Structure 1
Amino acid sequence: MGLKRFGYLEGRNLLVEFRWAADVSELREFAEQLSRLNVDIIIAPASTQVEPALQATKTIPIVFAQHADPVGIGHVASLARPGGNVTGVSMVLTEMSAKGLEILAEAIPGPPRVGVMWNSTTPTHVRVVSALEETAARKSITLVGAPIRTADDFVRAFDLMVSEKVNSVLVPSSPVTNTRRRALAELGIKYQLPTMFANRANVEAGGLMSYGPNFNDMYRYVAFYIDKILKGAKPGDLPVEQASKYEFVLNIATARAIRIELPSILVARADEVIE
């Protein structure tokens, strides 16, 4: 996370207590465990983890790395003055997903009929779906919702979308879709469907397109918050940083694999093209 540049070395002046959840149902217990340990800071990457962390403690500082909408769902009072015990780095997933939908529609020959594979366990996804519906209404795009909870739901979601005759798939960012990116890429290729993600790592794994911030940069910035808090700053006084740069990434090899020819003007706009 970049802590070394601030002088922190694990085993010397830093102890990290890791908790890896195989399922979202484990998050509340893990958050309570860390609270009972009275750790100095809890790193809760996204809204999915921030929610149980906040339920576990209102005093231990909580830092997020890629929160989609911390103000919209009430995890902070404002970006400038978060208040409470939570702060971190945010991306505007509602607007970002809407822009991704527009880009995806440009890539599809014929009237766009887009499957949205959203995660019902991700607190911000209800707002994301609402933003997508507004954009779809303005752009004459048909949406087909395919909610998931875990990676076990991926195949069922794709089967549903195929049965509804979608001609592309948009996957808003969530912990499970960010970590199980190879499985999602393979399903997109298997079903010959163009896919749009928020994380470039999904495209590196074989997804077709992504539009979103650089997640590695966002995680590195978390070290700044950790350093400030350990030196006495209150999380509620540290403004939430927003990702300022968004990248549009294409995978041409995947385009060939699903037999789609991307418009040349779209390829020219890409920040990076993976061959």
Structure 2
Amino acid sequence: MKRREFIGLVGGAAALPILQPFAAQAQQSTKQHRIAYLALLSGENTTYAKPLLQRLQELGYREGQNMVWDYRSAEGRTELLAQLASELVRAGPDVLIGGWGTLAPKAAIAATRSIPIVFTSVGDPVGAGLVKSLREPGGNATGMSALAADIAAKKLQLLNDLVPGRKLVAVLGNPDTPYTALALKQIKTAATIMEMPFTVFDARTVDEVPRAIDRAIDAGAASMLVFEDPVLLGALQQIIDRVAKARLPAIFGPRECAAAGGLIAYGPDQKRAYRIAADYVDKILRGASPASLPVQQPTKFELIINLNTARELGLSISPTLLASADEVIE
């Protein structure tokens, strides 16, 4: 045997024990993780969930390689959530993500108490019965809360800046949504401290929205605060068009509302929340238990001002308020 051949043979033999762990690692990295996502609203996979998917990719998850992405949407029809949740559970996901709001995660938890669930933007996880406490969820679900203690006061202050004089604020909400009760409690506390009058106008269905806004106008409301709710988001364009026609300044929560033509949006940084939700998915896939992952509360908020809408309403936005905005739409 030639010396070069002998060296090559010995070198190859010596390399085998080293190569085997790398081969095992490569096989492990290509394991298929099934991640399910239950959405209430239409298009969540390209809007709210987009930062989550981007973060999962940064963490090394690739659809078609080591991740199966199982997405189902109720397209705004709450009555479909239970059926879709059951379909996702039957497919046996490693993690089930409850999309925007409270109703999708509630449907997910009703469908399974064993599969880990990560919710993305629940207003009151404890009050809705999703977790035992924020610090120690205790069950198979954890995730992101979407409500902070001082957000109501900030929204009322923004409306007072736009329409000075502490004039009547109309609050548009759906009393059947778990989020509404907690948000309304905070509004009452903040309004009392700020001495701002307000009246609540209920809308349980999309058809009730125009009548609720008309009642607010008839009551002499000078501005409107719109709660984050699936029904109201489903009627978003109706709300925007109707308050514009009445020249009624309105403040919303999600950024998408200002992008659609709403005057102001103020709320948690949804992009950041969904990225943190992706981190939780990764932790769970690596062995963490949802019961031990505390529910995260928002710490960063976004102020979006639609200057085009302000001009159409004949409103003058102060330079100070514009300077404080995270984004100005022109």
Equivalent of 1:204 in 259, 262, 269: 259
Match of 2:301 in 1: 246
Shift of 1:236: 0.9
Give the counterpart letter for 2:57 in structure 1. Answer: K
Q: What's 1:16 paired with? A: 69
**1:63 counterpart SS class:** strand
Whole-Å Cα distance in 1 between the matches of residues 286 and 133 of structure 2? Answer: 23
Q: What's the CA shift string for 1:44-73, capped at 9, x where partnerless?
A: 122122222222222111111112222344
SS at match of 1:132: helix
Aligned amino acid, residue 186 of structure 1: D
How far 1:178 moved relative to its partner?
A: 4.4
1:126 & 1:52 partners in 2: Cα distance?
A: 19
Q: Residue 79 of structure 1 corresponds to which residue in structure 2?
A: 134
Give the aligned partner of residue 111 of structure 2: 56
Tell me: CA distance 1:8–1:176, structure 2 relative to 1, closer, same or farther (3 Å).
farther
Q: Is the 8 A contact 1:94 1:131 kept in 2?
A: yes
Deviates more, 1:113-122 or 1:92-101: 92-101
Amino acid at match of 2:312: A
Identity %: 37
State the one-letter code of the partner of 2:266. Answer: Y
Partners of 2:79 and 2:314 in 1: how far apart?
39
2:272 pairs, out of 205, 217, 221, with 217
Find the structure with the greater CA-based Rg: 2
The one-letter amino acid paired with 2:324 is R
| Count of matched residue pairs | 275
> 1:158 maps to what in 2?
213
CA–CA distance in structure 2, aligned partners of residues 269 and 191 of structure 1: 27
- Work out whether residues 48 and 121 of structure 1, in 8 Å CA contact, stay in contact via their aligned partners in 2: no
CA distance in 2, matches of 1:44, 1:159: 34
Distance verdict in 2 for CA 1:17–1:152, change over 3 Å: farther
Indicate which of 16, 21, 32 corresponds to 2:86.
32
> Is the Cα contact below 8 Å between 2:121 and 2:145 reproduced in 1?
yes
Residues 213, 245 of structure 1: 8 Å contact kept: yes
CA 197–58 in structure 1, closer or farther in 2 if over 3 Å, else same: same
RMSD: 2.2
Q: Is the 8 A contact 2:173 2:232 kept in 1?
A: no
**TM-superposition CA deviations, 1:130-171 (whole Å, max 9, x none):** 211222222222222122234333322212211222111111
Q: TM-score, normalised by structure 1?
A: 0.90
C-alpha separation between the residues in 2 aligned to 1:159 and 1:94?
30
Instruction: Give the conservation status (yes or no) of the 8 Å contact 1:211–1:248.
Output: yes
TM-score, structure 2 normalization: 0.76
Change (3 A) 1:146 1:94: farther
Q: Tell me how far apart the structure 2 counterparts of residues 215 and 250 of structure 1 sit (CA, whole Å).
A: 16
Q: Which residue of 2 aligns with 1:106?
A: 161
Q: How far apart are 1:207 and its partner, in Å?
A: 0.9
Match in the other structure for 1:234: 289
Question: For each residue in 1:166-214, what CA deviation from the matched residue of structure 2 results, as whole angstroms up to 9, or x when unmatched?
Answer: 1111112233444654443222212211011111221122111122122
SS in 1 for 2:267: strand
Match of 2:170 among 110, 115, 123: 115
Q: Which amino acid aligns with 2:207?
A: D
Alignment of 1:128-139 (within 5 A): 128-139=183-194
User: 2:302 is paired with a residue of what secondary structure?
Assistant: strand
Structure 2: runs of 5+ lacking an equivalent = 1-51
Between 28-37 and 136-145, the greater mean CA deviation after superposition: 28-37
